[in-house]
Structure 1
Amino acid sequence: MMPFRRRLLGTLLLWLGTLLVSLYIVVVQILPLQQEMGSDAEFWLILALVFIAAFVFAAVIGYRIIKIHIAPIENITETAMELVKGNYRARAYEDSDIGSAPLSSTINVLARNLQEITAVREMEQERLKTLIETMGSGLVMVDRQGKISLSNKYFQNEFGLNADDIIGKFYGELPIPETFAGFIEKVFMTETPAREQLEYQSGINNRAIEVYGAPVIGSHEQWLGIVIVLHDITELKRLEQIRKDFVANVSHELRTPVTSIKGFSETLIDGAYKEEATLLSFLEIIQTETNRLETLIEELLELSRVEQSGFEVDAQPTDMKAVIEYAFEMVHSRFEEKNMKCETFLDEVYVSGDANRLVQIMMNLLVNAITYSAAEKTVTVRLSQKGSQAVVEVEDEGIGIEASEISRLFERFYRVDKARSRNSGGTGLGLSIVKHLVEAHHGKIEVRSIPGRGSVFTIYLPLAD
C-alpha cells in the first residue's frame, strides 16, 4: 500500500501546487497590473479569467485523482458485493499503473478460489445425489423434528410415493406399511441402531424387506435425526421358501413309495407269499411304487439338466402341428381312462425348436389338463400364428387356479390340489420343466384361470426362419 499512498500524496500536492501558482499569479502579476491599468473593470475581468483557468485546471487534476484512485476502489467494492451475493464470476479491474492494483488482484484471486470451491462442491453434491438415486437400496432421512429431509427413487418406488409429497412431512403421516412405520418410530425414539426383516402386503403380493436404521450424529456429538436403509428381500424369501418346500416335498415323495415297498415286502417275507393272489397283488403294488420312484428320479434329473446354466435346445424348423398330434397320441390312453375328449384347432405353423423337447412340453401340459379335470370333460388345443410367434393354447375344464397361486404355479413340487395330483401319480415337476424348456426356446408361457371353470395355458414360440 505504500506506493498507493505516495501516488495519492503526489497528486494532492500537485493540485495544491496549482492553487498556489494561481495565487502567485494573482499577487505578483495581476495586482501590479491593476495599478498600471487604472481600471477596475479590466482588472476584475482578468482576475476572473485567471480564476476560471485555475478552476478548470484544478477540475482536470481532481478528475484525474478520482479516475486513478477513487473509481478503482468503487469497482473493487462492487465486485466484493457481487461475491457476497454468490456471483463468484465477478472480477475487479486490474491496472498495474494505479495504486489499488494489489487490492484488485487479491479480490480476483479470492473470487477465483471461491468459484473453484463452489464448482468442486457442486460436483461432489451431484456425485452424492447420483449415488443416492442410483443405489440399489431405499434411503430415507428424518430430521430432528421428525420430518422427511431426504429420500431416493428406490424408496419412493417401493411404496408408490412422490418426492414432492413426502419431503418436509412428518414421518408418521407417510402412507407406508404399519410395520415399517413402527420401525422408524422405534429408531427415532430410542436413537439407537436397529436391524429387522419386515413383511407387508402390497396388493395381492407379499413383500419382504430388510431395514437398517441408525441415528445421524453431527459435529460436537449433536443428534441431527435418523437414516433408514431398506433392501428388498422378497425374491430371497421366495427362494428360501422354495428350498424348504423342495426338501419337504422330496422327502414326502420319496417316503411314500419307499414306505409302501418296505411294508409290502415285510408282509411277504412274513409268509404272505404263500398265497398266490396276495403275492401277485403285493407285487403289483410294489411295481407301481417302484415305477413312481423311477418317474420321480427321472424328472428330478431332467429338471436338473434344464436348470443348468448354459442349457440350450437343438433348434430346427419344426412342424408344430405334427408335434401336438404326436403328443396327443402319447397320452391318448389317459383320455380314454377318464372318458375325456380332446378337441384340436391347428393351423400349419413351423417353429424354431427341438421336436423332442416340444413333444415333452405338450405332453406335460396335456397330462396336467387331464389330472386336474373331472371325467367326461373336454381339453381344447389351439395352434395359430400371431406376428412373428406361434401361439399354442391348452384349455381345460378343470378345477381352475386362484389368482394368488398363479405366481407359484411353476415352482418345483407346487400343486394346486395336492391330494388329486398325488392320487394320480403326479410328481409336481411337470410345469416347472415346461417353463424352463419354453424359455430355452426363447419363448414364454402365460396362464389364465377361473376357479371352478378351468385354465388356459398359452405358449409363445418363435417361428422358423
Structure 2
Amino acid sequence: MKSFSNQLFLFFMLITVSIFAVLGIILGQLFPFFLKNYFIKNDIPFNEESLHHINSQYFLALFILIVLAVVLISFGAYRLIRNMIEPLENITNTANELTKGNYRARAYAMGPATIVELRSSVNNLARTLQEIEKTREVEEERLKTLIENMGSALIMIGREGNVSIVNRRFLEGFELSFDEVRGKNFLTLGLPKEVEKFIDHVFLTESPYRKQIEVEVQQEIFYKQVYGAPVVGEHGRWLGVVIVLHDISELIRLEQIRKDFVANVSHELRTPITSIKGFSETLLDGAFKDEKMLLSFLDIIYQESNRLQMLINDLLELSKIEQHGFSVNIAPTSLQDVLIRAVELTSPRLDEKNMEFKVDIARDVTVMGDANRLIQIFTNLITNSITYSPEDKTITLRIKQNEDYGIVEVEDQGMGIEKNEIARIFERFYRVDKARSRNSGGTGLGLAIVKHLVEAHHGKIQVDSEVGKGTCMKVMIPLKKK
C-alpha cells in the first residue's frame, strides 16, 4: 500500500510539472510577441537588447512561480493522498492480522463514507471471527476433557494411517508416550497384533465393527471390547477411523473366577480329603491294631491335614487381599533387610536340596513398602525357585534401582517356563508342570498372592524365563522420594 501511494504521488507530480512546463513554454513563446506589440501600439521606444532583458526577467519570475506552485501543490497532493491511503492501509493491516488469527485486531480508519463503511464491515467480521474462535476453543476444550477423562482408551487414525488423536488411557494401557505416537503410523507403534488386525479390518471395510480381543502387554493378558468406526466429514469425505477399547479384563477375570472356583477348589481339596477319609476308614476297619501301620497312616493324615490347612489359609489370604479397600502399611523400608529376613526363613528348605544363595547387592536401596508384606513376597518367590530347581544349584539374589523403582531379582537355575505360559502363571491354581507342582506341596495360589501384594505397593513384577535354563523374577517397588 505504501509503494502504491508513492507511485500515485510521483505520477500526480509528474503530471503537474508537465502541465506547468508546457504552459511556461507557450507563455515564453507568446510573451515577446505581445510585449513588442504593446510597445509599438503605445509608441514606446524599445530595442532588442531591452526586449531580451525583459524576457529574461520574465522567465526568472515564471520559474520562481512554477517552483513555488509545484511545492505548494506537492504538499497539498501529499496530504490529500495520505488522507486517502492511510485509512486503506489501516484496514489492510487489520485484514492481514485477521488472516494471521489475531481476531482482536480492529480498524480505526476515518475518511469518506465508503471508507467508514468498509471499516465497519471489517470490524464486524473481526468480532464474528473472535466469537467463533471463542466458541471453537470452548468446544475443543470440552472435547479434549471428555476424551482425556473417558474410561475407555481411544485413538483416531487419519486416512493415511497416521495417529491424529489419542487419549491418556490408551497411552497408559500400551505403555506409550505422546511423542512416540503423535503423527506416527499406527503400524510403527508396536501395538499388539490383535489390535493392528482390528484396525486394518475397519480400514478395509470402512464400516463399524465390534469385537472382543485378547492382548498381551508386558507378559500380562488383558481382554478388550473394541469398537471401530469410520470418520466421515462434510460431503461424505472419508477422514479415517476411530477406535475405542474398553478394558473388560476385570469382568472376564471375575467371570472366570466364578466358573473355575468351585472346580479348582474341589480339585485341590479332593486329594487331601480322599487321603484322610481313606486312611481313617482303613484304621477304623482294624488297621489301628498294627502300631507301625497306625503311625504311618496317622503321619499321612497329619501331612494331608497340613496341606488342607495351607490351602484354606492361602484362599483366605487371597480373598482378604482382593477385597476392596485393602491396603498395605507403607513406610520407608530397606530392601536389604527384607531380603536378609526372607533368606533366613527359606534357608532350611535350601539346605535340604544342598543349594546355595549367591547375593549381588552393590548397595542398599530404600523403598516405600510394608516390610512384612515384602518379606512375604520374597519368601514366596525364593521358595518357588528352590522348589522348581534341581539339587546342587544356585539361587541368585540381586538388588538394583532405576529412577523410579527399587528392584529385587530372584533368579534360579530350574526348569524354566514356556513363553506362552508366562502371562498365566499369576492366575489362581495355574501350574506350569501339573504333576510336579502338585507333588511340591504348594497350593497354586502363591504367585497370585505375590502379584496382588506387588500391585498394592503400586509396583510391578516381570518374569524372564528360558526353558531348561531357569527363571528370573523381577520385583519393582517405588523408591523413597527425597
- Per the alignment, residue 183 of structure 1 pairs with 202
Maintained 8 Å contact 2:328/2:457: no
- Per the alignment, residue 230 of structure 1 pairs with 244
Maintained 8 Å contact 1:79/1:91: no
Q: CA deviation at 1:239?
A: 4.1
User: Residue 251 and residue 44 in structure 1: after superposition, are their counterparts in 2 closer, same or farther (change >3 A)?
Assistant: farther
- Cα distance in 1 for residues equivalent to 2:175 and 2:338: 45
Deviations 1:305-337 (A, max 9, x none): 4455222278888955863564146x44x854x
Is it true that 1:249 corresponds to 2:264 in the alignment? Answer: yes
Is it true that 1:343 corresponds to 2:356 in the alignment? Answer: yes
Q: CA deviation at 1:194?
A: 3.8
Alignment equivalent of 1:378, drawn from 390, 393, 406: 393
Alignment equivalent of 2:438, drawn from 406, 415, 422: 422
Q: CA deviation at 1:427?
A: 0.4
User: Residue 289 and residue 79 in structure 1: after superposition, are their counterparts in 2 closer, same or farther (change >3 A)?
Assistant: same
- Cα distance in 2 for residues equivalent to 1:321 and 1:149: 48
User: Residue 156 and residue 71 in structure 1: after superposition, are their counterparts in 2 closer, same or farther (change >3 A)?
Assistant: farther
Deviations 1:357-412 (A, max 9, x none): 566455434432342134x4334465779899998765543212234444443443
User: Residue 414 and residue 238 in structure 1: after superposition, are their counterparts in 2 closer, same or farther (change >3 A)?
Assistant: farther
Letter in 1 for 2:392: K
Q: Which deviates the most, 356-365 or 200-209? A: 200-209
User: Residue 370 and residue 218 in structure 1: after superposition, are their counterparts in 2 closer, same or farther (change >3 A)?
Assistant: closer
- Cα distance in 1 for residues equivalent to 2:440 and 2:356: 23
Q: Which deviates the most, 415-424 or 83-92? A: 83-92
Aligned length: 411
Is it true that 1:369 corresponds to 2:385 in the alignment? Answer: yes
- Cα distance in 2 for residues equivalent to 1:451 and 1:59: 102
Alignment of 1:110-189 (within 5 A): 110=124, 112-113=126-127, 116-117=130-131, 119-120=133-134, 123=137, 127=141, 134=148, 137-140=153-156, 147=160, 151-153=164-166, 164=183, 166=185, 177-186=196-205, 188=206
Is it true that 1:213 corresponds to 2:190 in the alignment? Answer: no
Is it true that 1:455 corresponds to 2:471 in the alignment? Answer: yes
Instruction: Identify unmatched segments of 5+ residues in structure 1.
Output: 1-30, 168-173
- Cα distance in 2 for residues equivalent to 1:304 and 1:456: 27
Letter in 2 for 1:178: K
- Per the alignment, residue 14 of structure 2 pairs with none
SS at 2:471 equivalent: strand
- Per the alignment, residue 213 of structure 2 pairs with 198
Maintained 8 Å contact 2:109/2:115: yes
Is it true that 1:413 corresponds to 2:429 in the alignment? Answer: yes
Instruction: Identify unmatched segments of 5+ residues in structure 2.
Output: 1-33, 187-192
Deviations 1:73-113 (A, max 9, x none): 544555555527825767655347x6656336425523642
Letter in 2 for 1:94: A
Is it true that 1:311 corresponds to 2:328 in the alignment? Answer: yes
Maintained 8 Å contact 2:212/2:223: yes
Maintained 8 Å contact 2:414/2:468: yes
- Cα distance in 1 for residues equivalent to 2:340 and 2:120: 89
- Per the alignment, residue 296 of structure 1 pairs with 311
- Per the alignment, residue 11 of structure 1 pairs with none
Maintained 8 Å contact 1:133/1:152: no
Letter in 2 for 1:300: L
Maintained 8 Å contact 1:351/1:390: yes
Q: CA deviation at 1:422?
A: 1.2
SS at 1:400 equivalent: coil
User: Residue 241 and residue 379 in structure 1: after superposition, are their counterparts in 2 closer, same or farther (change >3 A)?
Assistant: farther
Q: Which deviates the most, 249-258 or 390-399? A: 390-399
- Cα distance in 2 for residues equivalent to 1:149 and 1:322: 51
Maintained 8 Å contact 1:365/1:394: yes
Deviations 1:192-245 (A, max 9, x none): x4432234678977665433234556668x565564222263854774587365
- Per the alignment, residue 323 of structure 1 pairs with 341
- Cα distance in 2 for residues equivalent to 1:165 and 1:320: 45
- Per the alignment, residue 109 of structure 1 pairs with 123
- Per the alignment, residue 19 of structure 2 pairs with none
- Cα distance in 2 for residues equivalent to 1:382 and 1:335: 16
- Cα distance in 2 for residues equivalent to 1:51 and 1:316: 104
Alignment of 1:31-110 (within 5 A): 38=42, 64=76, 67-68=79-80, 71-78=82-89, 83=95, 86=99, 94-95=109-110, 102-103=116-117, 105-107=119-121, 109-110=123-124
- Cα distance in 1 for residues equivalent to 2:410 and 2:161: 52
Letter in 1 for 2:226: V
User: Residue 87 and residue 43 in structure 1: after superposition, are their counterparts in 2 closer, same or farther (change >3 A)?
Assistant: farther
| Cα root mean square deviation, aligned | 5.8
